[in-house]
Amino acid sequence: MPEFTFRHFLYLCSMNGQAKVPSGFHGIVKWQSPSNIALVKYWGKKGVQLPQNPSISFTLSQCRTETSVTFEAAENFSLRFYFEGNENQAFAAKIEKFLLDHVADFPWLNQMSLNMESNNTFPHSSGIASSASSMSALVLCLLDIDRMLKGEAEIDLKKASCLARIASGSASRSVFPMMALWGKTDTLATSSDEYAVSLENQMNPIFKTYCDSILIVSDAAKLVSSRAGHSLMENNPYAAARYAQANRNIENLLAALRDGDLETFIEITESEAMQLHALMMCSTPSFILMKPNTLNIISEIRRFRETTQIPLCFTLDAGPNVHLLYPKQYADAVETFIDENLVRYCTDSKWIKDCVGNGPQKLMVMDAG
């Protein structure tokens, strides 16, 4: 148990039922949090950011956001947000809206001045979705400030995942190392639509060695935002069949993850990627998010797998870039294959080397006052 100090007493007790931030309270928190790549896709939502079906992802390692929040007790709430060194008022407004919707979770907000700085380790124009890493990093910083004020030792990761989910659904999964599942499934008693849960203890060790080589077919801005994409599912004629299929895929993928069954892993992972894109194609309006080179890479991967028997497979996000997934023991062979056969399909020969990672990391916490 952390020591319960006079400061915590001041915070918790109040004249009018409202928490009071001690004057002079200030400091800095800094977290890095990774992006993730979904194997079973979250595509379609209901209610307040609840998923229509459960999803599973690998937590990545190299594609991360680093966020620091400098905080200081103040008369009123104020917020400044800097992205890669430049003040970004549009993003500050988005964060402010998110925070003010959650005053109940952060009762100190209206007595705090916050200065946020955020940097991605991956290039802005690489087509890597940054909302998962950025929103989870931000929520972890805020919960750290909350933890200090309450005098608690640890952040509650379930709460972090829940708040991150509200900011961006996929961010709920980035809070956990290795692999996470978000969404209620009968196959996993601890699962919930409200937050993600760790799958670290459900994985055959081979999956902890997985690499994700991300081939950048195009670095252009997204054709359709995730938010708009999810809402297209509301009128998609195949929606009910999709959600049923995703539930079956979750059940079978969980079994494959436990058993180290790479054949089933490949079958489900590739089918999920194709379904995501098929759903976009048959939405109204319809979107084609693949490029000719996406298809060229997919054909090459299938040919390579057939001729070498190396268990390399692919997945896609809601865009044209291709994620190559494979156990680390095949890294040399796959990287040679990429260099010799696939970089020609990448924009400026760009690809990113990533792998399954250990989840968010606290980089700095200093408080005073």
List residues binding ligand DP6 (CB under 6 A).
38, 41-43, 49, 55, 129, 131, 168-170, 226-227, 230, 276, 317-318
User: CA–CA distance from 4 to each of 144, 154, 275, 288, 359 (Å)?
Assistant: 16, 14, 52, 57, 29
Name the minimum Å distance from CB 29 to ligand DP6.
23
Closest to ligand DP6 by CB, 94 or 344: 94
Closest to ligand DP6 by CB, 20 or 102: 102
27 by Cβ neighbours in 10 Å (0-12 / 13-18 / 19+) ranks as: middle
Name the minimum Å distance from CB 38 to ligand DP6.
3
Tokens representing residue 119 in the block: 């940097």
Name the minimum Å distance from CB 241 to ligand DP6.
18
Name the minimum Å distance from CB 249 to ligand DP6.
12
Asked if 318 and 42 count as a contact pair (C-beta separation under 8 A), the reply is no
DSSP 8-state class, residue 185: B
Closest to ligand DP6 by CB, 169 or 359: 169
**3-state SS, residue 227:** helix
User: CA–CA distance from 159 to each of 139, 165, 314 (Å)?
Assistant: 9, 10, 32
Spell out the residues 6+ positions from residue 313 whose beta carbon is closer than 8 angstroms to its own.
265, 266, 269, 270, 301, 305, 324, 325, 326
Closest to ligand DP6 by CB, 74 or 223: 223
Closest to ligand DP6 by CB, 227 or 303: 227
Closest to ligand DP6 by CB, 222 or 305: 222
Name the minimum Å distance from CB 276 to ligand DP6.
6
Name the minimum Å distance from CB 147 to ligand DP6.
25
Q: In whole angstroms, what is the distance from residue 34 CA to residue 66 CA?
A: 9
H helix or E strand, kind and range, residue 247? helix 239-259
Closest to ligand DP6 by CB, 145 or 250: 250
Name the minimum Å distance from CB 132 to ligand DP6.
6
Tokens representing residue 125 in the block: 């124009």
